[in-house]
Amino acid sequence: MREEVYRMERVTYCEQGVALLENFSMAIWTGEILGLVPANHFGLSALLRLLRQNLPLHYGFVYYKERLVNDWRFPCTGMNRVSTNRVSIIQNQSCLAKDLTVADNIFVLRPGFRKRLMQPGILREQIKPFMEDIGMEIPADAYIEDLSTFERFVVELLKAVVAGNHLVVLEDISTFISAAELEKLSSILRHYAKQGMSFLYVAAHFEEAQQICDRAALMLNGQIIKCFGGAEKPPDPFFLRCTEDFDRHVRERMARQDRTETGQDHIVFRMENLYSGLVENLSFSACKGECLVVQDLDNCMIQELVSVLSGGTRQKSGSIWINGTLSGGLNDRRVGIIQELPVHTMLFPNMSYLDNLCFTLDHRMKGVWGRGKIKKSLRREYAGLLGEDVFDTPIERLTERQKYDLIYTRIFLQDPDIVFCVQPFKSAEVSLRIHIMELLERFLNRGIPVVIMAVNLADSLALADRLLRVGRDRAGVLQGRIRSPAREYPLAVSVSGGAGRDGVLRTGMGHAFVIIPLNSARYPAHLR
């Protein structure tokens, strides 16, 4: 008989009088990988908090290893109650101590462990079989800050294994690891599932959960709508309920792409032979009104490239041209940059809404900070788009959608020649992904090229005119198919001059990249 590792039974959980989870029921079996696909993010954070800690319930029961650990009838902090569960949650933000070694994070930071009893050599020997089990080679004495994102994730997973946690929750993992790493992750999860560990895999797309998980649960508005097993596909009514708008938006975008043929002969942005740290001999261009998706196959170059574009890092060699003139790099306001998770990185809570909105206008309007007339004019002009009430609302009280409106409108007011967007759809629910597409299309419709930099291609291809895949030490033609919600994109490789017969453009420093026009008929000969 199969055993349950975790079960929530008819749970209703409230915060400040709002039911974030309502009649929520979910069971995870021992040795199972359960996928959770939230149609929106309502209740997801509350679920993660309940998985980590037994907070007071409005109603329902929670079982861990078939033992009641939380009950709505009694306070969770009462006598003989368990306040925390042995559940590990791995998210985008690593919980590892960056200034300590791999061995220290895996062994030493465990509760009750006494480091003085173990010598570094013994720790290295103890970690070796764990690495061999999963086919990884991460030195035990390597510092966390020197590891890649995927390696840090593996260390967090091994930490959970060594601690004896029977359930590991993975949230939105595919957005910060490459496709090859995701495939490796799948094999690691299968390895530990066979040993009796269980996983809750929170995915943005049903197809992703279907590839990796044994079952997939669909979550909407704080409730589990239905669970699907194996290759079973959800019925059309569910997609009509949750993703109809998204699918329609993508199809409309594809139709507009097919009809649009203007502006593709005007190169706005050109990067030539850029060298800087992890970026080596990188060259590409973007045309007027074009959306170019740059996929970092190795998940190592995006931040370096952003730092160069924003002026934080000076390139060792190479040049960047914008509308025919050389870019100076530092604070070049012709380049608009929308950072990853911008609601956390691009807003200033201590400043007013209007001050946040005007933050990049000083190059266009001198003295904008002290000129109230300009701000009043902006308020009148954008009240219909942003909403009249938002201008008097503190930043921390804005909804996520309002925050995105503020950030994208700020960049729009900056009037850049080109916009770079770092993983714009990361951690966004379906409705928000649609809205982000609409915000990006504002730039495209104005003729401003948009470069989306991503590790995972999900959603980005819905906007793409061309796809640039950048990797290290890759040989041969890139074959296969990339799927989008609306259509399939054949990887028929067609690149500009300098490519070999196999279609791969190689560099002297080990990079190989291909430029794939998704609608090649729209491009002049030098871009095909």
Note the pLDDT tens digit of each residue in 373-390.
777 777 888 887 888 888
519-528 LR contacts (CB < 8 Å, sep 24+): 519/257, 519/258, 519/465, 520/494, 522/257, 522/260, 522/261, 522/264, 522/465, 523/264, 523/287, 523/466, 524/264, 524/265, 526/496, 526/497, 527/264, 527/285, 527/287, 527/466, 527/496, 528/494, 528/496
pLDDT (0 to 100) of residue 208: 80
Map residue 78 onto helix, strand or coil: coil
Residue 78 has pLDDT above 70, yes or no: no
CA separation for the pair 28, 35 (Å, rounded): 10
H/E stretch holding 37 = strand 33-38
pLDDT category of residue 479 using cuts at 50, 70 and 90: very low
Return the higher-pLDDT residue of 393 and 498: 393
Token readout for 252 is: 């409309």
Of the listed ranges 47-56, 69-78, 461-470, 485-494, the least confidently predicted one is: 485-494
pLDDT (0 to 100) of residue 523: 40
pLDDT (0 to 100) of residue 148: 85
- For the chain, how big is the Rg over CA atoms in Å? 25
Residue 525 has pLDDT above 80, yes or no: no
pLDDT category of residue 232 using cuts at 50, 70 and 90: low
Angle at 154 (CA atoms; ends 150, 156), nearest 5 degrees: 115
Return the higher-pLDDT residue of 430 and 291: 291
Of the listed ranges 168-172, 186-190, 431-435, 479-483, the least confidently predicted one is: 479-483
Closest CA to 35 of 218, 181, 270, 304: 218
pLDDT (0 to 100) of residue 247: 59
| pLDDT (mean) for 16-40 | 90
Return the higher-pLDDT residue of 466 and 252: 466
| pLDDT (mean) for 96-111 | 78
pLDDT tens digits, residue range 291-303? 999 988 777 788 8
Mean pLDDT, rounded, of the chain: 77
Residue 338 has pLDDT above 60, yes or no: yes
pLDDT category of residue 493 using cuts at 50, 70 and 90: very low
Residue 86 has pLDDT above 70, yes or no: yes
Query: Percentage of the chain surpassing pLDDT 70?
Result: 75
Residue 331 has pLDDT above 80, yes or no: no
Burial class (CB in 10 A: 0-12, 13-18, 19+), 514: buried
CA separation for the pair 257, 246 (Å, rounded): 17
Q: How far is CA 123 from CA 98, 112, 163, in A?
A: 18, 16, 15
Residue 475 has pLDDT above 50, yes or no: no
pLDDT (0 to 100) of residue 509: 33
pLDDT category of residue 420 using cuts at 50, 70 and 90: very high
Q: Which domains does the chain have, with CATH numbers?
A: 4-244 (3.40.50.300), 246-334+416-527 (3.40.50.300), 349-414 (no CATH)
- H helices, E strands: number in the chain: 14, 23
Virtual CA dihedral for 432, 437, 441, 444, nearest 10 degrees? 140
Residue 266 has pLDDT above 80, yes or no: yes
pLDDT (0 to 100) of residue 66: 85
Contact between residue 378 and residue 371 where contact means Cβ atoms under 8 Å apart? no
CA separation for the pair 428, 435 (Å, rounded): 10
Token readout for 515 is: 């430029």
Q: How far is CA 390 from CA 140, 316, 361, 386, 403, in A?
A: 51, 44, 19, 7, 10
pLDDT tens digits, residue range 243-256? 555 656 666 666 65
State how far Cα 45 lies from the chain centre: 16
| 266: Cβ contacts below 8 Å, ≥ 6 apart | 287, 288
Residue 524 has pLDDT above 80, yes or no: no
| pLDDT (mean) for 121-149 | 84
Q: DSSP secondary-structure letter at 304?
A: H
Query: Percentage of the chain surpassing pLDDT 90?
Result: 25
Return the higher-pLDDT residue of 81 and 467: 467
Map residue 388 onto helix, strand or coil: coil
pLDDT (0 to 100) of residue 296: 84
pLDDT (0 to 100) of residue 190: 94
pLDDT category of residue 507 using cuts at 50, 70 and 90: very low
pLDDT (0 to 100) of residue 515: 52
pLDDT tens digits, residue range 153-199? 999 999 999 888 889 999 888 877 877 888 899 999 999 999 999 99
CA separation for the pair 160, 188 (Å, rounded): 13
Of the listed ranges 198-212, 362-376, 442-456, the least confidently predicted one is: 362-376
Map residue 92 onto helix, strand or coil: coil
β-strand partners of 14: 19
| pLDDT (mean) for 217-244 | 70
